[in-house]
Amino acid sequence: MTVHAFDLMGSPNIGVYALTNNTLTILPAEIPSRQVERVKDSLRGEIAVTSVGETKLVGVLAAANSNGIILPHFASDEEVEAIKRVWSGNTARIQSKRTALGNLILANDYGAIAPESLMREKAALKKIRDVLDVEIVSGEIAGLPYVGSLATATNKGVLAHPMLTKSERQVLRDVFQVPVDVGTINGGIPLVSSGVLANEHGVLIGSPTTGPEIMIITNLLDS
């Protein structure tokens, strides 16, 4: 497995526009076919090309692990069907006033964390838990609630915002059951998930990512 530099739709913020688990990658509509093939070569699995809520902000609005994908309530039937056509895992829309699910939820196949504001929505939380099929606990990263945007989690490791506290690091270790490290992406950006697409098969990073950043990512997610 190798870490590859990759820009999507002319932007290094690839995690804003796409989402991956171990068997599926969702890419925004109108992506060139050559980029679809490059993603498939790196991350393997199936590819679904679709918008979410008629936007290209796939990674902001959706969250996933290998068991399931959760979408905001305004995702259309056509968008859900585009995923189900190529992937047999759980796919569901979540009825919640909090719709940027990719920014709010961090998950791998062992667990998930979400901010306390979402944890209080009991019906939504139960459905998220059922779809992802993991336990979900309340947590913050760098004292902030937007844990999905502040870290990237795979079944190999968690890369988090550089201001991660000692107690937060321990929560991440306990929940995700993998090594945890801190770093940045795209030349110093602490919103780690904005510039990374990673699963057990490969890692894609935004093209401005520096050598020291790549070293941390490689040691953690590409081992």
Q: Which helix (H) or strand (E) holds 70?
A: strand 68-72
pLDDT of residue 139: 97
Residue with tokens 């990374």, as numbered in its chain: 196
Chain-centre distance for alpha carbon 138: 17
Looking at residue 222, what is its pLDDT?
A: 81
Kindly report the number of other CB atoms within 10 A of residue 223's CB atom. 9
Question: Rounded to an integer, what distance in angstroms lies between the CA atom of residue 166 and that of residue 154?
Answer: 20
Per-residue pLDDT averaged across 27-36, rounded? 92
At residue 31, the pLDDT reads: 92
Query: pTM for this one?
Result: 0.96
pLDDT of residue 30: 85
pLDDT tens column, 108-145:
999 999 999 999 999 999 999 999 999 999 999 999 99
Side chain identity at residue 187, one-letter code: G
Structure confidence by residue, pLDDT tens digits, 174-190: 999 999 999 999 999 99
pLDDT grade for 223, boundaries at 50, 70 and 90: low
Q: Which domain holds residue 181?
A: 3-221
Predicted confidence at residue 1, as pLDDT, reads: 64
Positive or negative: CA dihedral 107, 136, 169, 155: negative
**pLDDT of 90 above 80:** yes
> What is the CATH classification number for the domain harbouring 180?
3.75.10.10
Give the alpha-carbon dihedral of 175, 14, 65, 128, to 10 degrees: 90
Domain count, the chain: 1
**Averaged confidence pLDDT in the chain:** 96
The pLDDT-based confidence of 193 (bands split at 50, 70, 90) is very high
